[in-house]
Chains A and B, each alone.
Chain A
């Protein structure tokens, strides 16, 4: 890192695993000087109302995103392949969280 002082902290994307949810879900972003500070900022900004039991933060620059221009080649081909959906099974009553 250069010795120059930047006027703004880098951005981190925040993922929270809710109390009653199984996966981490993207909830927003925070500015922070480093990952540990980002974790605490995420705790303070996004879990004030008892929303979470686990937090991930990821530098926004590390997120590799698909571009809107690729939308058709990436996603359109799966549109007419209904047989890929697991909708032809009976789900037993004792299987939770489905």
Chain B
């Protein structure tokens, strides 16, 4: 498994610890040329490369699409500080998306859209900007249009709690790349969850208006949560080979964590019927709400206008 060096526990208390850290790996995932530089991208034995790629697209698209949604908050948050906080969360997710899409491309080059000969666009960008909505595998929770501040707080709470539970398990993946991406993501997601958890409590216990907006957001989003725990055949196969995580296996933990936040906030977990799919198919199958195609049109227009562009 790829080793990701991090600061050790307790360094907070030791003024000298920061001087002695071997941070040779600090830039993991921030290489501007190759996001997987220095990482072994061999697909482990017993893992189907095409299924692994599809699985990486699912996790990568969750992050990419939600990152784009959160980015829409830039310059619109209630305060400068919240603006930067939300932008940081979006950037963390974008970083995860880049690594996961690059991993998908490395595992299965056939999954990468073809561009004109000689195009310098890297694989992860081809996947991000040259696929249509039907080829996106994200859950629909990530794509629905933004509401108010209470809505984005509630959505990040649900999303980060779910993704953190997945990544904690994924850190033990047989695929070294997924394990490294997950180990890095766990720290990011822990902060996201902590940040929005506090805001959820604040809004729930704040004014009548803040509570009304929060409850309205929660009721609106809850029908999208069932999809988070529905196991797609790709997820089942990749989990069986030890490279992925079956989302059904985290349901109990996620609901328990959310209940903890709800209890502290004096909020009851909604009981809403799941949002129906199209002939039983949902985001993981590439069947989305119309909001995704509109969002992608805006997100992809510049890249598509310049398939030979170098950024």
Contact = CB atoms under 8 A, between A and B. Distances in A.
Interface stretch (B79-87, B115-123, B220-228): B79-87
B81 A45 contact: yes
Nearest to B16: A22
A21 B17 CA distance: 10
Contact of B81 (A17, A31, A97): A31
Interface string B1-39: 000000100011001111101000010000000000000
Contact of B18 (A18, A41, A44): A18
A32 B198 CA distance: 13
B41 interface: no
Given A19-B18, A44-B84, A50 B202 contact: no
A53 B84 contact: no
A19 B21 contact: yes
A40 B85 contact: yes
A19 B15 CA distance: 9
Contacts of A48: 84, 88
Q: Please tell me the size bucket of the interface on B.
A: 20 to 34
A9 B15 contact: no
Contact of A44 (B7, B11, B19, B85): B85
Interface string A13-26: 00001111110000
B81 A41 contact: yes
A5 B15 contact: no
B7 A41 contact: no
Given A20-B19, A45-B84, A40 B195 contact: yes
B84 A22 contact: no
Given A31-B79, A53-B7, A53-B12, A44 B21 contact: no
A60 interface: no
B19 A36 contact: no
Interface in A47-75: 48, 50, 53-54
B166 to A, nearest CB: 24
B84 A33 contact: no
Contacts of B7: 53
A31 B19 CA distance: 31
Contacts of B17: 53
Contacts of B268: none
B279 interface: no
B207 A37 contact: no
Given A33-B202, A53-B11, A41 B19 contact: no
A9 B12 contact: no
B85 A54 contact: no
Interface in B190-205: 191, 194-195, 198, 202
Contacts of B80: 31
Contacts of A41: 81, 84-85
A17 B207 contact: no
A44 B88 contact: yes
Nearest to A40: B195
A64 B232 CA distance: 61
A58 B79 CA distance: 19
A44 B85 CA distance: 5
Contacts of B26: 50
Nearest to A23: B15
Interface of B: 7, 11-12, 15-19, 21, 26, 79-81, 84-85, 88, 191, 194-195, 198, 202, 207
Interface of A: 5, 9, 17-22, 30-33, 36-37, 40-41, 43-45, 48, 50, 53-54, 97
15 contacts: A17-B18, A19-B18, A19-B19, A21-B18, A22-B16, A31-B80, A37-B198, A40-B85, A40-B195, A41-B84, A41-B85, A43-B191, A44-B88, A48-B88, A50-B26
Pairs A-B, 5 closest by C-beta atoms: A41-B81, A44-B85, A19-B18, A53-B18, A22-B15
